Amino acid sequence: MFKRLNTDTLNWILIIGVILFIIELTFFHGGMIASALFSGVFIYVGWKKFNRLWGKIVFWLGVVGAVFAILNMLAVRFLIIAAIVLFIVNYSKSKKEAEMITPGLPNAQEIITDPVMKVKPLFDHRIFNDQKTEDIAYQWRDVNIHGAFGDRVIDLSNTVLPNDTAVISIRHLVGNIEIYVPYEVEVSIHHSSIFGRAHILGEHNLKLMNQSLIYQTENYDKAMPRVKIITSLLSGDIEVKRI
């Protein structure tokens, strides 16, 4: 969307946003800005003591307060409305400018269809509840899921991985992820988190804050079988360990 904007349009949006910000500071005594800064203090104190219950409560109160304070600022409201309007206008233009391509089809006798079969995924997408692999032997299927709340547990010791690269991709909001990997399997982990901790094959990161971590075993690029793990969390811990 921003690639379609000319410089003048973008400059006017920024100028109006700054003017609204100054108006809020001058005529409204910076009420929402003060609330956002106060919530920031709550977030900082809560994060410092996040291992305690009161720290978690203070942290999340600060997050909720900061979100409401920021959304109530005149400049932020204007930018949100401007972004929505620009999206609608640019989407309308892209629909009008879209080029219709009609490929020529071969003769009916030359059309060859590939037989396909539907495979049941290992996990379903769930907003709530925990999910874990079966405690008995199961057939491996690559994992590609997203969710909101709950824990995810994947135990690779009860399955036979293909002689290739198995993929585990998990996008989650709040909860913990546990992945147990056999010793003979090579591992690559790419984890990103806004808040949380990571325990990956003996490496410990106790305070992640908007960070990405990448680890892989020494022989990952040249040995099989191997598993590629890609995870993202808003808030929660990840643990990847041998079993």
Query: What's the per-residue H, E or C state across 7-43?
Result: HHHHHHHHHHHHHHHHHHHHHCCCHHHHHHHHHHHHH
Single pTM value for the model: 0.54
From residue 164, alpha-carbon distances to 13, 121, 149, 167, 181 in Å are: 50, 18, 31, 10, 15
SS3 63: helix
Q: How many CB atoms lie within 10 A of CB 13?
A: 16
| Rounded Cα–Cα distance for residues 32 and 65 (Å) | 10
Give alpha helix (H) positions in 49-198.
Answer: 53-71, 74-97
State the pLDDT at residue 23. Answer: 74
Which residues face 181 on adjacent strands? 242
- Residue 213: what residue type? L
State the pLDDT at residue 14. Answer: 73
Residues of the chain with pLDDT under 70: 1-11, 24, 27-31, 91, 93-114, 127-129
State the pLDDT at residue 220. Answer: 92
Q: How many CB atoms lie within 10 A of CB 118?
A: 4
CB-based contact 240:201 (threshold 8 Å): yes
As a whole-number percent, the residues of the chain with pLDDT over 90 amount to: 23
Residue pointed to by tokens 């233009």: 93
From residue 163, alpha-carbon distances to 139, 160, 167, 185, 202 in Å are: 14, 9, 12, 10, 26
| Rounded Cα–Cα distance for residues 66 and 152 (Å) | 29
| Rounded Cα–Cα distance for residues 186 and 226 (Å) | 4
State the pLDDT at residue 38. Answer: 81
CB-based contact 186:225 (threshold 8 Å): yes
User: How do residues 130-149 score in pLDDT, each as one tens digit?
Assistant: 788 877 888 888 999 888 88
State the pLDDT at residue 8. Answer: 63
* Cα pseudo-dihedral 48, 51, 52, 54, rounded to 10: 50
